[in-house]
Amino acid sequence: MIRSRFGIIVWLLICSYVTIAQPQYLGYEIFSETNGLPNNEVRCIHKDTKGYIWFGTIYGLAKYDGNKFTVFKHQSDANSISGDVVKALFEDSYGNILVGANGLSILHRETGTWQNYLHDPRDPSSISSPNITSITQENDSIYWIIASNGLNRFNLNTGKFQLLNLQLTSRVTESKIHNIIPGESLTFSVLHTLYHYSIKSNRASIVFADEGYRELEHFAGNVVGIKNFADNSHHLVSFDKDLNEEIILKRYVGSRGKLFHDGNRLYFVHKNQITAFDSRLNPIETLIFKTKSDDITTEYLSVIKEENGTFWLGTTSGAIKVLPKSSFQILDSKSGLPNEYIRALTIDSNNNLWIGVRQGPAYKISNIDDFLANRLKQIDPINFPSPGGEVFATNHILELANGNLIFVTNQAVYHYHTKERRFTDRYYIPNNRQYFSAIEIPGGILVGSLEKPTLFKLNIKNDRFERDMNFRITNKPDIVYSMFVDRTGEIWVGGEGLFRLNPRENFANTILEAAIPPISEDNYSNNSFWSITDIDDHRLVAATTTNGYYVYNKKTKEYTHYGKANGLTTDFLCTALTDSRGNVWLSTKESLAQVDTLDYSIRNFSIKQGQYNSDFTFKCGVRTQENYLLFGSKQGIMFFHPDSVTSSITEAPLYVNELRVFDNVVGREISNGDTILLKHNENFFSLEFSMLDFRNPQDIEYEYQLVNYDRSPRRVAYNHNAVSYTNVPPGHYVFSLTSQIPSEVNSKQTIEIALVVQPAYYQTLWFRVGVALILMMGTLWIIYAAFRRNVLYGRLQKMELDLLRSQINPHFIFNTLTSIQHTIMSSSKEEAVDTLSRFSRLMRMFLDYSRLDYIPLDKAIQFYSTYVTVHSVNLDEVIDFKISVDGSIDQQKVKISPMLIQPFLENAIVHGLSPKSKDMKLTLEIAMENHWLSCIVADNGIGRKKAMEIKAKKAKAHSSVGIEISSKSILLQLQKGRFIEESFTIVDNYDKQGSPTGTTVHLKIPYRI
């Protein structure tokens, strides 16, 4: 029943909701089939302990890693999910994913394999129905599963199911397990009925049942649900079973909403908003994630909330990611602000906010702190005395000491009387349309401009302007962007450089003193100072639009520069503002930065933590009496309380989601410290990775390096969280991966994964050493065999030469004795004795020299001369034998092989000269030629042709063994390492008539020193 005081309760709740639960607008993103979901109808969502988000749809299961969806669908092979219609998801204590899809499917994360338990009508120990709607775990082996026909107890160790006879009031199409106490009880709901099941007694009792309810939630001892009333209207209702009464928490919510709680708060999602209730079911905040023009007919099927405040909503038209609320909020058109392009902000002494815009009137919000707390007050326009009440670009608003205001616009300066609520005067200088700033000085104001005159004084009398023509300034600035009066009363001017204004003689002789130069001495950037604030009595902060900011010490007149190198996300600054703790806040073109003025450390806050972006405007910021900070932008006014800003540290894990070898997945969910082993033919691989922070994954920056392969770390291009490697040689590597959100403090994370490319057997060290040993042993054997063969061959040749030399003895003896016989018979006794004496000397030479390899050249010549003389006794006349030796040859040092030239001398005498019998001439010429001895044996005999004819007529031909000895002797020495192409050549000589005139033999023989 509904109590009679229902109307009062509802009114109090509504008022409480309006004043306390003020809406906050959150960013959101919709995921559908176009983004990779297998289907747009998302029945269930689960975030696992590793950080991945799982989506169960009516056509497949998907895992989201912030970069892409990995889809699991039923396949014909055994290793796949059992069905495609997924209605239940659960992660057990082992980290495995249990899926309700045509039975129960368990994905074993470590192996990547599926284990399916299907319904079998013939087996009572199988799952009672293929349609599973809820899963939970009691202990390591016992699970509780709600199927379409009841509650099942599943024993993982045995693989057996038991359907409990609980006699549910209706067939199960929707269910939810609210709570389990191991060994004690289980609380669950089916449609409009809430059950309490005692595990010990195996009995179920109905806690609550009402057919008008749907989407039940059991929270803080209350039953909450969406109830359909008699007029077919749907309201969010709480039922107190102790008081037996209902309380309407939210009216006219429709039937498509979804309830869930995180233990501390109850959340209700419907239409375009999420309403949070505390444990007393008081509404404490409303989060709006869609505009009023968005589709509100979506049915919500599942909801989860991450630890960082991100909501995931499963709907019939996709999954919606709702970004977490931020400490930073915005006043824009949704809050009633008529114009979002803000150019000027001022807080007056009564804590009223005055707003100047780019085009339009000015605006006033009375008591801005009250407005920010409840948003109940209206925003009043302040119309200018111009057509339509508008002006172009209100650049500055200044409160005077008397409470009146000065509006500095592009084209004129206006005086506004706050009590009378009217403009009293306007002033402008012809051809000057760029007024940008103003400060109050005794008797009037100073106005700064971008055009000349860039600095001039206006006196104010009776709320009217009058230009002070006595105002003089030394070193007048070329341009004035901003002016600031610090807490000690000193005046500072910002332009191209920072200046201190030193007034003299009531500003009749003003000096502008340079404090910071217009060009940085460090990086030669322009110092364009658009915003100035002070930290304390001695320190100023001056912000530039090109070069970060400076801290200026008034005592020492020294300054220090800070920029991106010190932690800023950009050097383009818009406004500097000091909070109540003395810290400085900087609006930039990429983020909001807090400067700790004790150590000048910088904390950056992402501008995407709400609806606003980087379009902050210049020198546009104020602090309220309650210490809220407000910054103007092109999208409204961003505001926050510095004490409420928490550090944006994220603990989202970093994983290598997939390892692919030749585009085949061989590893998933690889984390810090893991080791990857690859075969030698798996050295073409890629790695996909992500930091599991899903708020704004596109803002995450990655840097990677395959240590021992990459020379230096590399950065990943935007939205491409993958890297590929090709033909990586065998070895041990470390894949080092770092992620960071630049706009958040301490978000940097690094993981290191060992990666080993194993070598093929032929690439291993033992194989190479073995092959090297075999090659070395083979080489040594070949060298030894060749050496041994050469030794044996040399010995054989020497034996052959010695044998040939032994054959010359009877040859010489026969020829010489024949000559002596002829001499004795035809000559005197004295001549015969002389001939015999020469013969004996010749034989002694032969016996001595035939045992030697080399003899001096002079002894060889003596031997050849004796031989020719002895041989002449067989002829009718003495042979005219002449020997010519090159004078450069030392005949005693140069040695030649014995018996080399003698055979050619013998051949010339026997075959060339002896048939001629008279006028016999024989010459031997020896000269040095390219490390050889060139020997020429020439005779004037009958020639080789006629000699061959005579030889053929003899009964027994004589073969010249001597020439064969000489030839082989030369070849033997050449084979020992000394080389010429031809050892000797024979040339026939002819006269002009063609008659033979003898033979010439050319020899090239080796020698030694």
Cis peptide before 38 (omega within 30 of 0): no
DSSP designation for 760: P
Q: In a 3-state reduction of DSSP, which class is residue 839? A: helix
Residue 281's Cβ-side half-sphere holds a number of Cα atoms within 13 Å equal to 23
Helix (H) or strand (E) holding 749: strand 749-757
Beta bridge partners of residue 315, listed in sequence order: 300, 318
Question: 857-871 and 829-849 helices cross at what angle (nearest 10)?
Answer: 140
> How far, CA to CA in Å, does 458 sit from each of 208, 232, 472, 475?
77, 69, 13, 19
- 3-state secondary structure string, 22-68? CEEECCEEEECHHHCCCCCCEEEEEECCCCCEEEEECCEEEEECCCC
Contact between residue 1007 and residue 895 where contact means Cβ atoms under 8 Å apart:
yes
- What pLDDT is stored for residue 505 in this prediction? 64
Q: How many residues does the chain have?
A: 1009
CA distance 148 to 88: 12
Contact between residue 377 and residue 389 where contact means Cβ atoms under 8 Å apart:
no
Pick the closest to residue 629 from 364, 285, 325, 328 (CA basis): 328
Contact between residue 741 and residue 700 where contact means Cβ atoms under 8 Å apart:
yes
Residue 373 tokens read as 């707390």
Pick the closest to residue 688 from 759, 748, 753, 757 (CA basis): 753
Backbone angles phi, psi at 13, to 5 degrees: -65, -40
CA distance 395 to 343: 5
CA distance 855 to 387: 132
Contact between residue 492 and residue 532 where contact means Cβ atoms under 8 Å apart:
yes
- What pLDDT is stored for residue 974 in this prediction? 45
Give CA 598 to chain center in angstroms: 36
How many Cβ atoms are within 10 Å of 600's Cβ, its own excluded?
A: 14
Pick the closest to residue 39 from 320, 300, 318 (CA basis): 318
> How far, CA to CA in Å, does 720 sit from each of 62, 403, 683, 730?
20, 57, 21, 27
Question: 765-826 and 857-871 helices cross at what angle (nearest 10)?
Answer: 40
CA distance 612 to 605: 12
Residue 919 tokens read as 């006028």
Helix (H) or strand (E) holding 849: helix 829-849
Contact between residue 172 and residue 152 where contact means Cβ atoms under 8 Å apart:
no
Residues 6+ apart with CB under 8 A from 409: 356, 384, 391, 392, 393, 394, 395, 435
CA distance 936 to 238: 134
Pick the closest to residue 106 from 143, 81, 130 (CA basis): 81
- What pLDDT is stored for residue 745 in this prediction? 61
Beta-sheet pairing, 473-474 with 510-516: parallel
Type of residue at 1: M
Pick the closest to residue 924 from 877, 844, 850, 857 (CA basis): 857
Residue 885 tokens read as 């030796």
CA distance 749 to 743: 14
Positive or negative, the CA dihedral 646, 651, 657, 659 is positive
Mean pLDDT of each 10-residue bin along the chain, 1009 residues long: 40 37 74 96 96 97 95 89 96 97 95 94 95 96 95 96 85 91 94 93 91 90 92 92 86 92 93 92 87 62 93 95 85 88 97 97 94 81 94 97 97 97 96 94 93 94 94 88 96 96 78 93 89 96 96 96 92 96 93 92 72 78 96 93 70 92 91 94 94 88 94 83 93 94 76 94 84 91 87 67 52 64 66 78 79 86 87 78 92 86 85 84 92 91 86 58 52 46 79 90 88
- What pLDDT is stored for residue 16 in this prediction? 36
Exposure string over 308-339, b if 16+ CB within 10 A, otherwise e: eebbbbbbeebbbbbbbbbbbbbbbeebebeb
DSSP structure string for 248-306: EEES---S--EEEE-SS-EEEEETTEEEEE-TT--EEEEEE-S-TTS---PPEEEEEE-
Q: How far apart are the first and last CA of the chain?
A: 136
How would you classify residue 593: left for phi > 0, otherwise alpha for psi between -120 and 50, otherwise beta?
Answer: beta
How would you classify residue 393: left for phi > 0, otherwise alpha for psi between -120 and 50, otherwise beta?
Answer: left
Which pTM does this prediction carry?
0.66
Beta-sheet pairing, 573-578 with 558-562: unpaired
CA distance 154 to 134: 13
